[in-house]
Amino acid sequence: MSVSPGLFSNLAAVNAAIPLSALPGNVPGPRATLAELGASGVLTEPLSAMPEFLYGGTALDMTKKAGDPMPHDVSEFSVRDQQIWVYSLWAQKGKLSKGSVTAKFYDEQNHVRVTLTPKKVSLTTTPARFAFSFPTSALKPGASRIDLIWDGRPVWRTFIRLTE
C-alpha cells in the first residue's frame, strides 16, 4: 500500500483552523437547533453505516436481469438522456433481512427535487441488485445530490451533473 506524497504536504499550514478566541462572543443572527438546520436544508443529513449496503452507482441504462454484469457508472448526464438509473447492491450480513429502499434527489441548494417510491425488499446472503429510474426532465441542469435511503436513513450518497 502506498501513501500519497501530498497527504502530509499541508500539515504546517498556518491557517488550517480558526482559534476559538478569534470568534465573537455573541454570534449575530437567529439561533437554530441542528434539527431545524437540517429541516431547512442548511445541513445535509449524515450517512448511516450499514454493512448490508455493498455498492451503489448511477447509469444511463440498466439490464433486466439482476445477474447481468454491473452497468457502466456515469456521473454526468444530458437533458437529452431519457432517464437516470440509480442502482445498488445489497446482501444480508446479520439479522437484518427486510426493509425499504428509496432515493431522494437534491438540487444545489439542498432542496429535494425528486423522491422515488420506496421499494420493500428482502435481503439474502446472496448479493441482490435494486434499481430505480427517473426522467432527466425532473431535474434542472447543474449539480445534484442523490441519497440512497434504507428505512428512512441515508446510507449512500453520490453527486451527478446534468448538462444541456
38 has pLDDT over 90: no
pLDDT bucket at 17, cuts 50 / 70 / 90: low
Number of neighbours of residue 58 by Cβ within 10 angstroms: 20
Separation of alpha carbons 131 and 88, rounded Å: 6
- Among the listed residues 1, 124, 108, the one whose alpha carbon sits nearest the alpha carbon of residue 52: 124
pLDDT of residue 53: 94
pLDDT of residue 27: 67
90 has pLDDT over 90: yes
pLDDT of residue 149: 95
Retrieve residue 79's grid coordinates: 437533458
Separation of alpha carbons 62 and 56, rounded Å: 13
Number of neighbours of residue 103 by Cβ within 10 angstroms: 23
pLDDT of residue 7: 46
**DSSP for 54-103, written as a single string:** EEEEEES---S-TTSPPPPP--EEETTSSEEEEEEEE---SS--EEEEEE
- Among the listed residues 162, 159, 129, 163, the one whose alpha carbon sits nearest the alpha carbon of residue 58: 159
Domains and CATH numbers, the chain: 48-163 (2.60.40.10)
pLDDT of residue 32: 84
24 has pLDDT over 60: yes
pLDDT of residue 1: 47
Greater pLDDT, 80 or 1: 80
Query: Which residues on adjacent β-strands are paired with residue 115?
Result: 104
Separation of alpha carbons 22 and 6, rounded Å: 29
96 has pLDDT over 60: yes
